[in-house]
Structure 1
Amino acid sequence: MSKRQTILLVDDETRHLKVLVKAFLNDYRVLFARSGDEALQLVQQEAPDLIILDVMMPGMDGYQLFGLLQQDQALRQVPVIFLTGRDGEADERRGLEMGAVDYWTKPVSIDIARIRARNHLELKRHRDLLAKLAITDSLCDIANRRGFEDYLAREWHRAARTGRPVSLLMIDIDYFKAFNDHYGHPAGDQCLRQVAALIDKTLSRPADLAARYGGEEFVCVLPETPEAGARVLAQKLRQAVADSGMVHGHSPLGNRLTISLGAATLQPDEAGDPAELVELADQALYDAKNGGRDRVVVAGMVLTTLAKAESG
């Protein structure tokens, strides 16, 4: 069963709010706000699927609120319907030129409103599906490289504003070419899917992102995670694969599948580039592979043997 879509109603008139809430409550999840400021707080917590926005409100009016929403990359994708008691062509043109998907004049016909809202929400569902497919790896069903780069860029800029660190893990399946050569590419694909599922399952926070970087390499973006936390999670991931029971009979490390991990942490600033974090993690992964594989190396630390990493 698909998740119920969310409609945000913004109107300072309680009577109109009650009518619209009643109209949509049976079919959708409905949020409401009585001012532009209240609406801004709500959308920062969760982006709705549709916003029905009254134009004429005290303080911040609908046009001003819409302008602020357009400045946010994620909220810019949310369709907005303007709602107003004025039916002038100039007002309607202004709203549509700003980017609103529709313009309703009060009093609204509830039956027509339901149909129009349903149509806009269906279009939004299709756009979301296409957007998800564009950033999802079709084999492993986690984010692809494009999805990873987009997410890292967003988290980098957010961390620059909040003053919080961002950590990155880069992961490589050890001796994967030998695995493919011995077991065949279908088995190799199944191996990639299993490792991706283990990584995704081990990430416990909703904000953490697992992605396929390319080939047999994966990455994990860990917002608001200091170096110590990244190191602990990297060790958990290595152990999860080691304990999975996946067989690799042609690995010099034994009759089991293993992974190597590089971890890096930075405190972003707006003048910096997320590529700096990727480069650090990539170098740490190179050190892990060069040091014997099946281990975790943290950028900026002396290459650590597996025994030391596990005891630390």
Structure 2
Amino acid sequence: MDDANPASSILIIEDDPDTIHLLSTILMPLASILFAKDGETGVRLAEQHQPDVIVLDQQMPGQSGQETCRILQANPATRECSIVFVTAHNRPGDEARAFELGARDFVSKPFSPVVVTARVRNQLLLKQQSDALREMANIDGLTGAFNRRYADHQLEHEIRRHQRQGLSLGVVLVDVDHFKAYNDHYGHQAGDDSLRAVAQALMASARRPGEFVARYGGEEFVVVLPHSDPDDMDRFGWRIIETVRALAIPHDQSPEYGQVTISAGLVAAVPGDFGVRDFLEASDQALYDAKQAGRNTYRTASLEVT
């Protein structure tokens, strides 16, 4: 990692401008650099950018480094960031306390550039390995989409984030039409192939940052669309119906269309008091309506305070 890796990022939270400049100069060859001069700003940047490593000053006015670390560790969006404490104090117990708070390493001031570089580089490598393992655990082995565990966790995170921001979140449930009949007629291998093709078509349609597709059941998928309003959902609904239809996968057991098609239920709303269950129930009802309307189409639902 001698050259900067644009895919990796380091957040420096430090109140001293000279130390920020020095650390930025030292660490710039490793990754892109962000910085904040206080704990509150650092927490906001960490949640927004989710850096790989956070270099955190333990002693800061206002919100201390220790309190900042506690907040970062309590937030699911920043819990996986590797925190390296930097402090001018080296009192007995400081290092143990840092690790108790969730830090991954500890550097004392005045620090050696060689030591800081080595320790942060090591944390970047460990974070990359951890991310790779976590991603493998979150991927559905058949389709390559995310799995249900990831979808439930990430959907909950997105709902909380959109609640704070007051923005509209979109959720889509997708079901492959007459899939049992397809499996019975063509065999499970062909069924698996068709699920993979549909999953790839859905993933190709989820284009914007933060959008993701997960396999939620046997032939059911969920799509989460951050910052999406009802107009966005209409456009997405038509897109996925047409994209799957364009695959032109023969389905002799589909009485309506003779090829593999999908039905979709969509909902978009500012979460407010709504939770995961509310979004999924609304999109499931819309999916049922799409099935009743003849399949190979989508329907939208609304979430309203009753």
TM-score bracket, shorter-length normalisation: 0.7 to 0.9
Q: Is the 8 A contact 1:246 1:257 kept in 2?
A: yes
**Where does residue 217 of structure 1 map in the other structure?**
220
**Where does residue 119 of structure 2 map in the other structure?**
116
**Where does residue 285 of structure 1 map in the other structure?**
287
The 3-state SS of whatever aligns with 1:294 is coil
Deviation of the 1:48 alpha carbon: 0.9
- Which consecutive aligned stretches of 4+ in structure 1 deviate over 4 angstroms post-superposition? none
**Where does residue 47 of structure 1 map in the other structure?**
50
Deviation of the 1:122 alpha carbon: 2.2
Deviation of the 1:49 alpha carbon: 0.8
Q: Is the 8 A contact 1:166 1:225 kept in 2?
A: yes
**Where does residue 139 of structure 2 map in the other structure?**
136
Letter in 2 for 1:296: Y
2:200 is the alignment partner of 1:234: no
**Where does residue 306 of structure 1 map in the other structure?**
none
Paired with 1:143 and 1:3, the residues of 2 have a C-alpha distance of 24
State the identity as a percent: 36
2:156 is the alignment partner of 1:148: no
Letter in 2 for 1:80: I
**Where does residue 275 of structure 2 map in the other structure?**
273
Matched ranges for 1:86-235 at <5 A: 86-235=89-238
CA offsets 1:123-165 (integer angstroms, 9 cap, x no match):
2222222222222212211211111111221222223333333
Letter in 1 for 2:107: W
**Where does residue 305 of structure 1 map in the other structure?**
none
Paired with 1:118 and 1:267, the residues of 2 have a C-alpha distance of 40
Residue from 281, 294, 297 that aligns with 1:295: 297
Deviation of the 1:119 alpha carbon: 2.4
Q: How many corresponding residue pairs?
A: 299
The 3-state SS of whatever aligns with 2:93 is helix
Structure 2 CA distance for partners of 1:166 and 1:63, relative to 1, 3 Å: same
Deviation of the 1:104 alpha carbon: 1.1
Paired with 1:269 and 1:14, the residues of 2 have a C-alpha distance of 39
Matched ranges for 1:11-90 at <5 A: 11-90=14-93
Q: Is the 8 A contact 1:55 1:84 kept in 2?
A: yes
Deviation of the 1:50 alpha carbon: 0.9
Segment drifting more, 54-63 vs 140-149: 54-63
Q: Is the 8 A contact 1:260 1:293 kept in 2?
A: yes
Paired with 1:201 and 1:238, the residues of 2 have a C-alpha distance of 13
For structure 1, the residue ranges without an aligned partner over 5 or more in a row are 301-312
Deviation of the 1:3 alpha carbon: 5.9
The 3-state SS of whatever aligns with 2:251 is coil
Paired with 1:71 and 1:250, the residues of 2 have a C-alpha distance of 51
Letter in 1 for 2:248: G
Paired with 1:136 and 1:284, the residues of 2 have a C-alpha distance of 26
Letter in 2 for 1:260: S
Paired with 1:244 and 1:136, the residues of 2 have a C-alpha distance of 23
2:256 is the alignment partner of 1:256: no
Paired with 1:261 and 1:16, the residues of 2 have a C-alpha distance of 53
CA offsets 1:223-271 (integer angstroms, 9 cap, x no match):
332333323311221111112222223321233221111223344234x
Task: State the Cα RMSD in Å.
Answer: 2.3
Paired with 1:251 and 1:205, the residues of 2 have a C-alpha distance of 32
Paired with 1:99 and 1:295, the residues of 2 have a C-alpha distance of 48
Q: Is the 8 A contact 1:248 1:255 kept in 2?
A: yes
Taking structure 1 as the reference length, the TM-score comes to 0.86
For structure 2, the residue ranges without an aligned partner over 5 or more in a row are none
